[in-house]
Structure 1
Amino acid sequence: MPSIIPCDIAIVGGGLAGGLIALALAKQRPGLDVRIVEGSDSIGGNHLWSFFATDIAQDDRWLVAPLICYGWTHYDIAFPAHRRTLKSAYYSIESERLDAVVRAALPSEAVMTGRKVLAASPTAVVLADGDRIEAKGVIDARGSGDLALLDLGWQKFVGLEFALEEPHALSGPIVMDATVDQIDGYRFVYTLPLSATRLFIEDTYYSDTPDLHRPQPGTGSNADPIADRVRAYASAHGWATHSATREEWGVLPVAMGGDFEAYWQSGGNKVAKAGMRAGLFHPTTGYSLPDAVRLAALIARASDLSGAGLHTLTHDFARRTWRARGFYRMLDKMLFRAAGPDERYRILERFYRLDPQLVRRFYAGQSTMMDKARILTGKPPVPITRALRAILGGKPA
């Protein structure tokens, strides 16, 4: 017989955003009855999230500190005409760690994995098995809303983790290696040294389409060109690999514009939202971790955790964040519409010649007026007429 499950806060979606909210509430509001509902069998899925220390405010670092699996003090970038090592603390979190920390922080009955959600309202969640959660407030963190309402480019990637036959010589990550062939837009390879004999290598594309060519079950085709390029990259660097121990792939939005309010409502009107569903991602990188941390800490401090109060809190935070990031969306228009696909790397190559502090603030979404002026001054890496046409809404000829 279907059950009614009462609680204070129900979090729908056990990805990064939902997991961080659950942890923040468990730490700061231990008296609350919190439930986190996830359709798969684990919290966090199959992901490796990375961030710079400066992406997270000092007052919020308590939230991510227990999750960190790897850390480095510097990273490298490489372009055809420019290579550089930047000193900056850089960290990675594995989804398995998020799952373990959430389960340790919450009572066992609060982590409701393997439970499919049919519908969510400001104060209720209907499950596919007939059970119903009745909460004082509901937060929906189930992936994205209707992305067709936004003007987007795409960052798509395939990453493989390898056990090596011999130790590698890397002392830190290669966050961006654009010396590779430029295919399907701006292409770079991202490498994390997880141990002396473990590497995570990801092939990334800033592409005009979200199409990610992976083997399709039932088609009889095992073609996997992006994974093949990852293996070729490892071989070219002399890293003798065994079979991949883990794979990760995905497609992230790169925002150039769109109707924020329509996007918000597409995810469910009057329901509080978090993560991609709230439109909380960096317009240029597509990364959502810094915003997810900020929102989770904000929710944990909130005095009104009712359905209506949470909706107002999350909507207003997301709207302020969207409005504050118009500069990044303008840059994305230049990247995708002023530069031809095989020229896009020049824009990033020029960017990485700038002051390291500017680069850190850019990734954190905290660029100053001086930063913005510096990014736009000097010799442009694309023709000025095409840049102006892109900013004003046109597309390259």
Structure 2
Amino acid sequence: MTPAVDADLVILGGGLAGLTLAARLARVRSGLRVVVLEPRTAYQDDRSWCFWRPEQHDLSHLVSRSWKTWTFSDAAGLTVRHRVPGLAYQYIRGSDFYASAQADIAESANVDLRLGVHAETVDAVPGGVRVETNAGPLLARQVVDTRPRAAESMLYQSFVGFELEREHPLPFELGEVTLMGSLDADAEGLSFVYALPLGRNRAIVEWTRFGTAPIERERLVGELDEVLTGLGLADARRVRTEGGVLAMGLGRQTASPIPGVVHAGNAGGALRAASGYGFLRIQRWAQLCTESLLAGQGAVGHPDEPRARRAFDRIFLQAVRAHPERTAEYFFALARGVAPAALVRFLSDGARPTDYARIIASLPWTPFLSQVAAPAAFSPAQTLPATRPTPTTETSVQR
């Protein structure tokens, strides 16, 4: 006799991906019994997500700030300003997203968020998937696994940021975001400042390094301290801290070897390989997954990248990896040589063939042509040694 299942769907991880799917299933009243397992015992204001959208959209109620202008600058102070009519760079605070998702879940009798519970093992068994947890076993028909995975990556985006506040105005224009400021590069790769002005007296300021190895947070904090001193912000109060390491270019996600299990979230393919933007990609995946579940076709992972985008991202990341000292040159060339609308489409997964042509024309050809025929730098199946830092997920104030 097949044992009765405890849930139609178990979601491992209640971060951005897991909560987005669970909240969506709760809102559509799917009737599916859903359990979300999240190791945290409580949510904190520890995340931010940004993206480009028109002012009004389905997530507008979560947006706390938006800006019509975004800037790039090099180490010498040369600045390029971008605007796209009808689009704004928009910011969702983590605490607002968590509160909204939990409220949606609380309204559903069929969706259960279990904090302080983590999966220990996941195995296929007759009748479904058995999840052993620190609170006991669960038998599910299907599992969506959004947890981080240790895997070799082409590059790593390491960052730390502070939300700052002080009594007198901060040195930022309220209407514009510093998307990549003070772009510089050395043998370790790219570094830049990212700043979101939240008001005259409050802003998020982040320091990012983009290179072949993760950077320890202590070092990033020390470098950010120097940046803040240079900006005249050493006296500002640090309201909260964000930070993490994003694995860039994990490669194509292979199917889970466990029947009934699919992978999602950053480690499952949510992050854009060449940029790190993932918020809207997760929203699109959650919609696809919900539609598939409602149609009785089962949960789905992130769709494969289109061939042209995958090839372009691979070439770009490998060129960066081959010549890290030139990375600032590459990014500033994109800012100067590509029309703002085309660059936003590229970063937001909507690039047209003409956009790729403009991007290619703006970049120095030699380092990129040398990577066209080069094989992929890593296989996505490779795992990291236990002593190597595991890339964290869903942590960026940028994405």
Give the total of aligned pairs.
361
What does residue range 1-397 of structure 1 map to in structure 2 within 5 Å? 6-43=6-43, 46-53=46-53, 61-62=57-58, 64-79=59-74, 80=76, 82-87=78-83, 88-107=87-106, 110-121=112-123, 123-124=128-129, 126-144=131-149, 146-148=150-152, 151-168=153-170, 169-171=172-174, 172-179=176-183, 182=186, 184-210=188-214, 212-214=215-217, 224-255=218-249, 258=251, 260-261=253-254, 264-265=255-256, 268=258, 270-303=260-293, 309-311=297-299, 313-314=300-301, 317-321=302-306, 324-337=309-322, 339=323, 341-353=324-336, 354-377=338-361, 380-381=363-364, 384=366, 386-393=367-374
The 3-state SS of whatever aligns with 1:21 is: helix
The 3-state SS of whatever aligns with 1:157 is: strand
1:243 CA displacement: 4.1
- Cα separation, 1, equivalents of 2:229 and 2:139: 54
CA contact (8 A) 1:333 1:391 kept: no
Q: TM-score, normalised by structure 1?
A: 0.81
1:213 CA displacement: 2.0
1:370 CA displacement: 0.9
The 3-state SS of whatever aligns with 2:298 is: helix
- Cα separation, 2, equivalents of 1:372 and 1:330: 12
Question: CA, structure 1 residues 322+25, in 2 after alignment: closer, same or farther (shift >3 Å)?
Answer: farther
Q: Which moved more, 1:16-25 or 1:166-175?
A: 166-175
1:136-176, CA deviations, whole angstroms, 9 ceiling, x for partnerless residues?
A: 432111123x423xx51111111112222411242122111
Q: TM-score, normalised by structure 2?
A: 0.80
1:24-50, CA deviations, whole angstroms, 9 ceiling, x for partnerless residues?
A: 112223533322110112358822111
Aligned AA for 2:199?
A: S
Question: CA, structure 1 residues 73+30, in 2 after alignment: closer, same or farther (shift >3 Å)?
Answer: farther
- Cα separation, 2, equivalents of 1:323 and 1:374: 15
CA contact (8 A) 2:182 2:193 kept: yes
- Cα separation, 1, equivalents of 2:30 and 2:358: 46
The 3-state SS of whatever aligns with 1:265 is: coil
CA contact (8 A) 1:5 1:132 kept: no
Give identity over the alignment, percent: 23
Structure having the larger proportion of residues in helix:
1
The 3-state SS of whatever aligns with 2:272 is: coil
- Cα separation, 1, equivalents of 2:93 and 2:262: 26
1:209 CA displacement: 0.9
1:75-130, CA deviations, whole angstroms, 9 ceiling, x for partnerless residues?
A: 22212474122224111222222221122111387111111211335744534335
The corresponding residue for 1:217 is: none
- Cα separation, 2, equivalents of 1:22 and 1:274: 13
Aligned AA for 1:132?
A: P
1:165-199, CA deviations, whole angstroms, 9 ceiling, x for partnerless residues?
A: 41124212211103457573111110111222112
Aligned AA for 1:32?
A: L
